[in-house]
Structure 1
Amino acid sequence: MHTLNIGILAHVDAGKTSLTERLLFDSGAIDRLGSVDAGDTRTDDGEIERRRGITIRSAVAAFTAGDAQINLIDTPGHSDFIAEVERALEVLDGAVLLLSAVEGVQAQTRVLMRTLRRLRLPTLVFVNKIDRAGARDEDLLDDIRRRLTPYAVPLTRVTDIGTPDARVLAHPLDEEAAGTLAEVDTAVLAALVDGPAPTGQDLRAALAAHTADGTVHPVFFGSALGGQGVTDLVEGLVRLIPRPGARGPGEPREGTVFAVRPGAGGERRVYLRLHEGEVTNRQSLTFLRRESDGRTVEVAARVTGLGVVGRPGDGTLTPGNIAELRGLAAVRVGDRLGQATEHTPQFAAPTLEALVHARHPAQAAPLRSALLALADQDPLLHARPAANGGTALLLYGEVQKEVLAATLVEDFGIEADFAPSRVRFLERPTGSGEAVEEMPWHERTRHWATIGLRVEPGPRGSGGVFTYETELGALPRAFHQAIEDTVHATLLGGPHGREVTDYRVTLIRSGFCAPISTAGDFRGLTPLVLRRALERAGTRVYEPYHAFEAELPLDALAPVTAQLASYGAEFRETTGGRTGWLITGDLPARRVRDVELRLPGLTHGEGVWWSRPSGDRALR
């Protein structure tokens, strides 16, 4: 039996969790359908997920179909938890992109499909809720081809759509499908032009080949709640998603940690997708972690419990499968067996920052420990010390903040107060600058230490990197650590009052006087030298931007574009004109909330707005 790891992706409320429940129920993996409304679904097992009716953490459930075991990875739909989706993408063999036949193509759906196409991940499209009033089929297919992928091939069709009597029938590969396949397959094109016409077998082979390479996207209609069309979707997964290649259990181990979740008694559960080799219980493993400065760190751990997803009692994790591992307290999301690789984020980093304080002062230290534990589960949840005993957090949105507050109470017993979120500006060095302060001690520095530092720009996304040109061992280890820690702490506030990022600081000179010098001398002198070097290097402030999409009624184009322009928007594309307009562009993140408040009035409540972080730009 081979294994397929399939992700279910969609905008919020499209029915991902309901589809997961239906797939598990129809296959016999569970004996009762769970309900999002009732809060008894299998994958949303957290109390907060059940209460809110949304998926927050990627979850894994398995069922069998023929000779295949399918591991379903149910991912969040809310844009505040896009980091969870990113983690899941790294371990998938294929995906199901879910749409609602009523709401149609949403802005979040477009973002997900663009990412899936960029990764060339085999993806099937499932149009859900065909039995709901307002459901569409042909018009929605046109929207899919226009806004998601031009190479959509329907494999099922619907009768009585939009009614409780909606039924799904097979849709043959007809001339329209042949024309779509001809755009990406030269053999089909030649057969259509020169003859003889391609056979059904030719079209099925072309469909399978170009689904596998991520070019063509088969479309299935159905209802997760009613069960219509779900069997066709499963058959499509088994037939069209290629089996993952693996050299076998005798090869060196390679795998990826894509989720970490708390377990009973506080024990962490680590989810590992294995690509090569094998892992057994009680085995000692070495994970590799790529740090922001390019260093590779080894994390040693010993497995104290192993459960292969979908295979109870199997104590050996083999290639292509996922296991829940216990005993790996130091392992984090993104750690790898075999080799550490550079991770290219598929989604932009968060742009909001919020300060959090423990409501009760005695819980200040436990709060920081809890936030660090949560950061192990989500590497994009950055937490750092702030003034007055608080902690600064990077966030995607207000819903994420609300969920964090509830998690702190329910999982850690800590009540926390969050300050209003603010947009996070950054500074980056613009050039290179050096500064040196020499011993002996004198009135100006009052420190028995010699420190020379060079500041220069680092690659985009590298964060802060500290390196040495001095000979290692020339200073006691405690002095070296004091300099490095102080460098990073000092650069949390640059000359313009913003956090400095993407920098490279190099220690170019050092010295001490034994036994007089202490680590405190180096902690005290480092900020003085660093600020002087940074001033000589120069910095520039960068403002975060959001990519936006706005769907507008016909008569709202002029007032909305005028308002967006006044907020500093840069327009990329304006399309439509028959029934409405779609505007895309980029907008300073600090203006997003203003637009959200003004848009209903400018569009008589008919406008639809969506935005997401899209990097930053230098302030003019």
Structure 2
Amino acid sequence: MHTLNIGILAHVDAGKTSLTERLLFDHGAIDRLGSVDTGDTRTDDGAIERQRGITIRSAVASFTAHGTRINLIDTPGHSDFIAEVERALEVLDGAVLLLSAVEGVQAQTRVLMRTLRRLRLPTLIFVNKIDRPGARDEDLLADIRRRLTPHVAPRARVTGIGSSHARVRPLDIGTAAEALAEVDPGILAALVDGPEPTPDDLREALAARTADGSFHPVYFGSALGGQGVSDLVEAVTRLIPPAPATPGGEPRGTVFAVRPGPGGERIAHLRLYGGEVTERQRLTFLRRGADGSTSRIHGRATHLSGPLTAGDIASLTFSTGLRVGDHLGEPTDRAPQFAPPTLETLVTARHPAEAARLRSALLALADQDPLIHARPAADGATSLLLYGEVQMEVLAATLVQDFGVEADFTPGRVRYLERPGGTGEACAEMPWHLGTRYWATIGLRVEPGERGSGGVFAYETELGALPRAFHQAVAESVHAGMATGLTGAAVTDYRVTLIRSGFVGPISTAADFRGLTQIVLRTALERAGTRLFEPCHAFEVEVPPAALAPVTSLLASRGAEFSGTSGGETAWVITGEIPAGRVREVELRLPALTHGEGVWWSRPGGDRELDRPSPGHR
């Protein structure tokens, strides 16, 4: 029996969780259908997920069909959790992109399809809710071809659409011939020059082009009523190939989700690409730090139901703390790339006596999820970086329900970044220099690093010249000091090099090196100067023709830079980049300018240098 790891992706309220419940129920994995409305679904098992009726964390559930074990990964649909979706994509063999037959193609649907096509991940499209009033089929297919991808073909037709009598009927494979010819040279040649492709030729081409991500068969059905679901399952097992797995050798895998267990422990979801993991086996995970360093986490896997083999996914309890992104063995080359969050909020305990508990809870959440950046701020507050307001609301509810702490969040503000503008050096000799009184000698050089490198700390001094504890104190203090630059923004893409060092044993201490590093680093950074950057979002907006001019004018007045404009009689699509601080304003004004017909999509996507340099730049 082979294994498939399938992701279910969709916009909010398309029916992802309901489809998961139907698949599990139809194949005997659960004995009753859960409901999002009643809050008793299998995958949305968190109290907050049940209350809000949305998926927040990727969840895994399994069933067996047609001799294949299928692991379903039910992913979030809200745009604030797009990073959670993209992390799950790393471990998938294929995906089911879900649409509502009533709401049709939404902005988030297009975001997801764009990502799936970029990764060339085998993807089937499932049109849900065919039994709801207002459901569409032919019109929706036209929208899919126009707004998602032209390379699709329906594999079923619907009778009685939009009513409780809606049913699906499979279509003959020959109806997909012309669509397949657009992506398969063999089918094109057969249609043009003959002899015509046989049904077997067409089925083979459908499987091959689906597998390479260039073609997307479309299925219709209802997750609640069960119509069309069996056809979807058969297509998943027939058209999506399992990823190649290496059964022997050392185990290799990726942690793609971490969830709290019933007893307060952490449960890690691990996708294994090679080797085998057994109960109580000693494992070593690798973790990449922000400074490029690699740390190792050792422990033993527990609570496995059986040996975990290559290609499979398991939920395991690990005896030491794991977090998303940790790699078992050498990292794979499938890790998705996504921009860090740019919305900053300050969090304080509503009751001052709970300040310590709040800090501990936030650090625990940030340790589980590396995309939540937490750092101390003034007056006992904690600074958090998040993706959006909904994520902030969910985090506040999580603190109350999981940690018993009520917290107040300041309104989110866009977080700017600094980068070194040049090279600067500073040195302090012991026992005092530059007004200091530390038993340490430190010389540092600050210079620009490569874009996207974050922060790098290096040595020009002889290794072993300082005790290890002193080296570590300098490195940690450098990265901590760069959290606040000359304008108060965090510094990124820097390279700091230790160019001089000295100590006096047994007088010198690690505290001397921590204290002096902050002073020398600040002096070197002032001499290097910094440039200030504001984060931007890549955007795509679809508007009716009559609204093209006013929407373009609004975007231009808010600092947008355009990369493309295309369209025709029915709609125009504008793409470009806009400062992150202007996104919310554009979103709020768009409905009035487009009479409610505009569709907006944006996500963090780079930054832009401000015209004014920061203090110290020269």
**TM interval, short-chain normalised:** over 0.9
Query: Given that residues 54 and 76 in structure 2 are in contact (C-alpha distance below 8 angstroms), is that contact kept between their aligned partners in structure 1?
Result: yes
Distance 2:135 2:362 in 1: 43
Distance 2:594 2:183 in 1: 40
* Secondary structure at the counterpart of residue 451 of structure 1: strand
Letter of the structure 2 residue corresponding to residue 497 of structure 1: G
Distance 2:204 2:179 in 1: 14
Distance 1:277 1:343 in 2: 18
1:123: Cα distance to partner? 0.7
Query: Given that residues 277 and 308 in structure 2 are in contact (C-alpha distance below 8 angstroms), is that contact kept between their aligned partners in structure 1?
Result: yes
- Residues 199-224 of structure 1, C-alpha deviation per residue, up to 9 Å, x if partnerless? 11101101101111111111111111
Q: How does 1:406-421 map to 2 (within 5 A)?
A: 406-421=397-412
Q: How does 1:206-605 map to 2 (within 5 A)?
A: 206-248=205-247, 250-307=248-305, 315-341=306-332, 344-441=335-432, 444-605=435-596
- Residues 328-370 of structure 1, C-alpha deviation per residue, up to 9 Å, x if partnerless? 3322211122213567544322110111112223322222221
CA distance 1:441–1:245, shift in 2 (3 Å) = closer
Letter of the structure 2 residue corresponding to residue 407 of structure 1: T
Distance 2:46 2:11 in 1: 20
Distance 1:521 1:275 in 2: 46
1:472: Cα distance to partner? 3.0
501-510 or 484-493, which deviates more: 484-493
CA distance 1:610–1:186, shift in 2 (3 Å) = closer
2:98 aligns with 98
Query: Given that residues 90 and 334 in structure 2 are in contact (C-alpha distance below 8 angstroms), is that contact kept between their aligned partners in structure 1?
Result: no
* Secondary structure at the counterpart of residue 372 of structure 2: coil
575-584 or 428-437, which deviates more: 575-584
Query: Given that residues 82 and 347 in structure 1 are in contact (C-alpha distance below 8 angstroms), is that contact kept between their aligned partners in structure 2?
Result: no
TM-score (norm 1): 0.95
2:193 aligns with 194
* Secondary structure at the counterpart of residue 97 of structure 1: strand
Across the aligned residues of Structure 1 and Structure 2, the Cα RMSD in angstroms comes to: 1.8
Letter of the structure 2 residue corresponding to residue 219 of structure 1: V
517-526 or 110-119, which deviates more: 517-526
* Secondary structure at the counterpart of residue 330 of structure 1: coil
Distance 2:348 2:333 in 1: 34
Distance 2:341 2:334 in 1: 17
Query: Given that residues 357 and 416 in structure 1 are in contact (C-alpha distance below 8 angstroms), is that contact kept between their aligned partners in structure 2?
Result: yes
Letter of the structure 1 residue corresponding to residue 227 of structure 2: Q
Letter of the structure 1 residue corresponding to residue 275 of structure 2: G
Distance 1:237 1:345 in 2: 23
Query: Given that residues 547 and 613 in structure 1 are in contact (C-alpha distance below 8 angstroms), is that contact kept between their aligned partners in structure 2?
Result: yes
The gaps in structure 1 that reach 5 residues or longer are 308-314
1:145 aligns with 145
Query: Given that residues 298 and 320 in structure 2 are in contact (C-alpha distance below 8 angstroms), is that contact kept between their aligned partners in structure 1?
Result: no
Query: Given that residues 449 and 517 in structure 1 are in contact (C-alpha distance below 8 angstroms), is that contact kept between their aligned partners in structure 2?
Result: yes
Letter of the structure 2 residue corresponding to residue 65 of structure 1: A
5-14 or 511-520, which deviates more: 511-520
Distance 2:333 2:442 in 1: 33
Q: Percent identity?
A: 75
CA distance 1:467–1:329, shift in 2 (3 Å) = same
Query: Given that residues 8 and 74 in structure 1 are in contact (C-alpha distance below 8 angstroms), is that contact kept between their aligned partners in structure 2?
Result: yes
Distance 1:184 1:597 in 2: 40
1:611: Cα distance to partner? 2.0
Distance 1:370 1:472 in 2: 38
Letter of the structure 1 residue corresponding to residue 569 of structure 2: R
Query: Given that residues 115 and 346 in structure 1 are in contact (C-alpha distance below 8 angstroms), is that contact kept between their aligned partners in structure 2?
Result: no
1:537: Cα distance to partner? 2.5
1:403: Cα distance to partner? 0.7
1:443: Cα distance to partner? 7.3
Letter of the structure 2 residue corresponding to residue 189 of structure 1: L
1:311 aligns with none
CA distance 1:491–1:342, shift in 2 (3 Å) = farther
- Residues 116-160 of structure 1, C-alpha deviation per residue, up to 9 Å, x if partnerless? 111111110111111222222222212212222221121111122
* Secondary structure at the counterpart of residue 304 of structure 2: strand
Query: Given that residues 253 and 331 in structure 2 are in contact (C-alpha distance below 8 angstroms), is that contact kept between their aligned partners in structure 1?
Result: no
Distance 2:245 2:589 in 1: 54
1:246: Cα distance to partner? 2.3
* Secondary structure at the counterpart of residue 332 of structure 1: coil
483-492 or 254-263, which deviates more: 483-492
TM-score (norm 2): 0.95
